Structure 1
Amino acid sequence: IEAKDFYQKWLDNKNDYDAIKELEKDANKYLPLDLIEYLTPKSVWTIGGDGWAYDIGFGGIDHVLSSGKSAKILVLDTEVYSNTGGQASKASKMGAVAEFANMGKKTYKKDLFKIAMTYPNVYVAEVSMGANIMQTVKALKEAEAHDGPAIILAYSPCVEHGIKGGLVNSVDQQKLGVESGYSILMRYKDNKLYIDSREPNFEKYEEYLKNEIRYSALEIKDKKIADELLKLNKSYAINRYNYYKNLAE
């Protein structure tokens, strides 16, 4: 391989780990040893919670996604401010009881997946590791390999959810979340949407909600308000699934 070909190959494949690994075998012929390490593509991941991603840091997320640069974002979405005492965030769903929403949150969850899809060349995924670990790993690999911005919204169980029996049951609850349509496993790649989860059984939706104190507590406080808000919660989930299902077809 000639020097010109070496440099051209690097320019053509500078974000391809496998190609650069091959190129490094001849790198000492054309580069000083202390510069060879800079051939390897750098992986930059930003990790944060939903309070940061949906609320106080959303402006930064917006900037990164619109930049076109190969920056990756992992959002650990607990649907509540976990670190500061369980306050409601824009990721909290309708009817969820949290600090600042003692009688249930009255607004819908911000659809960050839909927002991220509007940017050109952005990879977006929604995952729930307890429900499907292989889909989670696939999304992480695809996000890493994507030549451009990528964001993964990872549903994350939290003590603030009040899962019946404790977090030891969080995996079963995540699986029920996907089965009932509370969560959707999906990936937006190369301007095409892939839904990885099966058609949900929305008859199980109430079972999912009753398994968590953040929703069941509202019935104790005011059954009428609970019925109203949790009905809207389910209706939104059905409409959201149908929206993405139509996009994927």
Structure 2
Amino acid sequence: GLDHVIASHENVNIVVFDTEVYSNTGGQASKATPTGAVAKFAASGKVVKKKDLAQIAMSYGYVYVAQVAMGANANQCLKAFQEAAAYDGPSLVICYAPCINHGIKMPFNQAEQKKAVAAGYWNLFRYNPALIAEGKNPFSLDSKAPSADYVEFIEGETRYSALKRSFPGKAEKLFAIAAENSIEKYNKLAKLVDFYSPEK
């Protein structure tokens, strides 16, 4: 349904609060659940990659897309919402939203977002097609290369630590794959800065 809306080219603003599970029905695994996470219907850890909603939306070329985490960079988050509202066309802002299914209590939500970005678990970026007509780069990678340990970060959340307790061997393998995927994803995003550069 979301894909149909953004493909319509209508001037709509969409906000997605990404909890990485079906939170409204009790925390079931979804296509947004990352590798190695435990959720309902994925009790032994999800084995495939998380769906990349941002890349899907960006592939249209005319959709404003931003990925934000207010606890990691409030200014980037505000800028994304302002740009999305001003953009004449479909806009999609994807917000990282730790929740109770992650084992994160509300008072620690913002701090968890900051940790997620530092570990490369969640990347901050903006894609604004309106900048192309101005001869500017439409893609901005707003988070730095990971500076914290990815596996150490995920092991701090119950959806991952539960897998380590129940299936330690499988957890080690899936966590290593997830860590590699995070590096690969950041490197792809970094290449997009050059790819979209008007000087290329």
TM over 0.5: yes
**Corresponding residue for 1:99?**
40
Which residue of the other structure, out of 94, 109, 115, is the alignment partner of 1:153?
94
Q: Is the 8 A contact 2:128 2:139 kept in 1?
A: yes
Aligned-pair distance for 1:171? 1.5
Q: Is the 8 A contact 2:119 2:153 kept in 1?
A: yes
**Corresponding residue for 1:194?**
140
Q: Is the 8 A contact 1:173 1:208 kept in 2?
A: no
Distance 1:120 1:141 in 2: 19
Structure 1 residue matching 2:191: 3-state secondary structure = helix
Report the structure number with the largest CA radius of gyration: 1
Distance 1:63 1:85 in 2: 26
Amino acid at match of 2:57: A
Q: Is the 8 A contact 2:21 2:27 kept in 1?
A: yes
Q: State the number of aligned residues.
A: 187
Structure 2 residue matching 1:152: 3-state secondary structure = strand
Distance 2:107 2:81 in 1: 25
Instruction: Kindly report which structure 2 residues correspond to 1:1-249, keeping only aligned pairs within 5 A, or say none.
Output: 60-163=1-104, 166-190=105-129, 192-201=138-147, 203-249=148-194
Distance 1:120 1:180 in 2: 29
Aligned-pair distance for 1:160? 0.4
What is the root-mean-square deviation in Å for CA atoms of aligned residues?
A: 1.1
Q: Deviations over 1:47-104 (max 9, x none)?
A: xxxxxxxxxxxxx211121111101110010001112111011110001001000000
Structure 2 residue matching 1:83: 3-state secondary structure = helix
TM-score by length of 2: 0.90
Q: Structure 2: state its 5+ residue gaps.
A: 133-137, 195-200
Q: Is the 8 A contact 1:96 1:104 kept in 2?
A: yes
Distance 1:120 1:245 in 2: 18
Q: Return the structure number with greater relative CO, CA threshold 8 A, min gap 6.
A: 2
Comparing both structures, which one devotes a greater share of its residues to helix?
A: 1
Distance 2:149 2:28 in 1: 27
Amino acid at match of 2:160: Y
- Deviating above 4 A after TM superposition, structure 1's stretches of 4 or more consecutive aligned residues are none
Amino acid at match of 1:161: H
TM-score by length of 1: 0.73
Q: Is the 8 A contact 1:104 1:218 kept in 2?
A: yes
Aligned-pair distance for 1:120? 2.8
Q: Is the 8 A contact 1:97 1:215 kept in 2?
A: yes
Structure 1 residue matching 2:127: 3-state secondary structure = strand
Aligned-pair distance for 1:167? 2.9
**Corresponding residue for 1:26?**
none
